[in-house]
Structure 1
Amino acid sequence: MSAWLISLEGTEAGHQVALVLALLAALLHAVFGALQKGRHDPWLSRGAIDLSYTLLAAPFALFVVPWPEPHMWPIFAIVWVIHTVYKTMQAMAYSRGAYTVVYPVVRGTGPFFTVIGAYLLFDETFTLTQWLGVAVLLSGIFGLAVYNYLKLQVDRATLGSALMLAVMTGSLVAAYTTYDAYGIRATADPFTFLAWFFLIDGLFMPVVAGVRWRSMAQTPALGPLAVRGVSGAIVAFLSFGSIMLATRLDKVGEAAVLRETSTVFAALIGWVVLKETVGPRRLALMALIAAGAVIVEMGG
């Protein structure tokens, strides 16, 4: 499969596969965010998910895929630092603010900076039409966050700090998207990067979650938390794996923008699963996000 994927790099077929992978990542990333924000403490949820995908990735990293080339170890070290800071910021934001307000801000901040990072690192450029698409998409995403802030019952006492953390988290989304793309292109076999990424990426949050769990006055049952962890790990494999492969096959900036249609899926999850209200204004904003993604794709 690795040889087939590598053969698609830079081709029209590769572009189409990257499009599908980016949209799949969008859907699954919204599911992943909801899993982390659900009824469990977000620190515990993230710790359970990370522990699960590290354990699941270990046999593949150690015994199935080719071992990383020597030059990959410094790259993995930087990847680990970026993702660790990102996850810490994200958990702090989710702990302070409503999911439907915080999530759009995180995801809306990311693609803009990713497009800039892709230009600096990979010399990728967007057409004027694509920049228009980015503007339309971001107006929908941030409009959704503002609407949720104004209309939904949220804890406004902590929302200000949550939004600041969300913007910082979004900048880290751009950092990891761009640098992960660099990392997956730096190794001969993309699945080597994916397997080792998931192995090392999950080493920090389980420790934090364990300390937090032990300090709680009423500790949650480990069984449901473990189920959430394994479910989240599977979603993470498919979601993060899809977007990383998309960035190897095609433009990093386009994949990043298309992934942010996850905000639409997140709003639908909030409506169906979390029983949050979705009215005509929110539907219009979600249509803007989808339209922006279409403009970016068609304008390339």
Structure 2
Amino acid sequence: MESIISVKDVTFFYPGEETATLKNVSLDVYKGEWLSIVGHNGSGKSTLAKLLNGLLLPNEGTVNVSEYVTAREDDIWEIRRQVGMVFQNPDNQFVGTSVQDDIAFGLENFGVPREEMIKRINESVQRVGMEAFLNQEPHQLSGGQKQRVAIAGILAQKPSVIVLDEATSMLDPVGRIEVMETVRELNQNEGITVISITHDLEEALSADRVVVMKMGEKAAEGKPDTIFQQRDLLKSAGLDLPFSLKLSEALRRQGVELDRGYLTQEELVNALWKLA
């Protein structure tokens, strides 16, 4: 598979801190995949996210985005165009008085001509299902709608990668579903690479691959069905098991003849249906 982001031997210290937040971390992000980086608070996952588009720079090691290097000042604008970030609190991301003004702000910073800007704004809101809200004030939208507008603002810049840094953690269940369905469609239908930074293992089930962070180090990586069967690993990293897996194990303890723990509700329901 083709690597689009490469993190090599990265160590990072926040100013004034004696202990490294990240310690000798290496990983590759592959073009078109959905990678979920999971970990408890303080594991270093959000710091890692900010290193991916040059918001932070490593003290040691390198971060490459395609042929660009985050430590090279001349490369930063192109890196930030390619790697768009959606943060935890959508209200902190808005600068415009309307949805279209907010999306236009980022394009103006990149010097996009007006006619092209209008075209990109219209295309991006259509891709996230927010075309009816172009003249709405962002702060009047629901949480899920706000995050979809934030994603539209990133899409208008034509990125190769979208990083979701705990982007659903402040949303209600409906808003979380809205955002995850939007991102899943962009990943599957348009080939946009998705990096999801989260402590919610239910969200990570959608990923093609999972990286587990623990105390600033990469503790494990692999496919969800492999990672989430490692109860001791997840527990040591301060993470809870997905609900369907916990329910599967509880049913097996009660004598239900399940052949394994199931990661999703759909898989578990189908397995139980076959036993009926």
Higher fraction of helix: 1
The verdict on a shared fold, with TM-score over 0.5 as the criterion, is no
TM-score by length of 1: 0.22
Pair member with larger Rg:
2
Scaled by the length of structure 2, the TM-score of the pair is 0.23
Name the structure, 1 or 2, with higher relative contact order (CA <8 Å, separation 6+). Answer: 1
Name the one with the larger strand percent.
Answer: 2
